[in-house]
A and B are shown apart, each in its own frame.
Chain A
């Protein structure tokens, strides 16, 4: 409860819980604009662990999405395969790339179509707590 109380106070004051995952930094976070009819968006970013201990990170929710998750894309034997990931292990003073054709954020059931220039937030969780990161929607290259 001692740990929970400041969090509850923060929530009550309308603050977003930030930096709950000690050492986690989310850089170059973006979402390519998808066709308005798309039921799934994708999120890319670089997750950096500035801390001295490894981090295990999961994606828990998104402000504009029904649910979020982590997936990995692989091309094996001429087949495209996408598989859910239980989480990301970021080594101490290391980073993990979420990028096209590799690991990515699955942003499912968008509550409204996201256009280039829009922003949205995605929440990550680790053993210590939760961190919210801002993602910018950009025109697909």
Chain B
């Protein structure tokens, strides 16, 4: 390769690099950086779903509209991390003070076999009367899981009733348009979650 040809190749490569960088900067949508997890660059639509909330009343996509929601996936036969996380969400709610009214906290049970809407409501309200305990048929949970990006799996135990449930550890953020907005990922830090939720709630209002 001649010297002049080499210069042209180098220049072309440089131009391509500058162009790519500029394009990247321009195309990258504005987002909010959060300390407690990740926000999607583009919120994702959620298909309608039919679950049951407190006292068996319907809980659908409409219940996620008009406010930010933080959804925690778990089950009540999980004695360790689920109550610890719910207690932490209680601290988050307290930390938010009056701003907590702008958000909904949802405990989504992926164990409808053992968690009835009634027992789930009692369990969830032990932590806060404002927390919503939600569950429903597996087909509905599976479809919602595909939309929200959570998975769960039943693991047989020693007896038919002592099975365990593996479940996604991340909490799910849903925006006031009832779209998947992002995730809060472990290890959960109460102060970081409070700061992020407050910023998101203010952005929405």
Q: Is the CB of B78 within 8 A of A75?
A: no
Least Cβ distance of A137 to chain B in Å?
Answer: 13
Q: Is B127 in contact with chain A by the CB < 8 A criterion?
A: yes
Partner among B74, B126, B167 whose Cβ is within 8 Å of the Cβ of A79: B167
Partner among A38, A79, A83 whose Cβ is within 8 Å of the Cβ of B79: A38
Count chain B CB atoms within 10 A of each CB in A38, A83, A84, A106 and give the residue with the most: A38
Q: Assuming the A-B contacts A79-B167, A81-B166, A84-B158, are A42 and B123 also in contact, with contact meaning beta carbons closer than 8 angstroms in the complex?
A: no
Q: Is the CB of A40 within 8 A of B77?
A: yes
Partner among A39, A73, A82, A140 whose Cβ is within 8 Å of the Cβ of B83: A140
| Contact digits for A69-85, partner B, Cβ 8 Å, 1 yes 0 no | 00101010011111110
Q: Is the CB of B84 within 8 A of A108?
A: no
A interface secondary structure, majority: strand
Q: Assuming the A-B contacts A41-B79, A79-B151, A101-B80, are A36 and B164 also in contact, with contact meaning beta carbons closer than 8 angstroms in the complex?
A: no
Partner among A40, A41, A42, A79 whose Cβ is within 8 Å of the Cβ of B168: A79
Least Cβ distance of B148 to chain A in Å?
Answer: 13
Which residues of A (2-46) have their CB < 8 Å from a CB of B?
32, 34-42
B-side interface size class:
20 to 34
CA distance A100 to B84 in the complex (A): 8
Q: Is A104 in contact with chain B by the CB < 8 A criterion?
A: yes
Q: Is the CB of A100 within 8 A of B80?
A: yes
CA distance A39 to B186 in the complex (A): 25
Count chain B CB atoms within 10 A of each CB in A71, A79, A106 and give the residue with the most: A79
CA distance A36 to B125 in the complex (A): 11
CA distance A128 to B160 in the complex (A): 32
Q: Is A117 in contact with chain B by the CB < 8 A criterion?
A: no
Q: Assuming the A-B contacts A78-B169, A79-B167, are A42 and B126 also in contact, with contact meaning beta carbons closer than 8 angstroms in the complex?
A: no
Q: 5 A-B pairs, CB-CB below 8 angstroms? A: A32-B84, A40-B78, A73-B80, A80-B167, A141-B87
Please list the 6 inter-chain residue pairs (A to B) with the smallest Cβ-Cβ separation, ordered nearest first: A35-B126, A42-B79, A40-B79, A37-B122, A35-B123, A80-B169
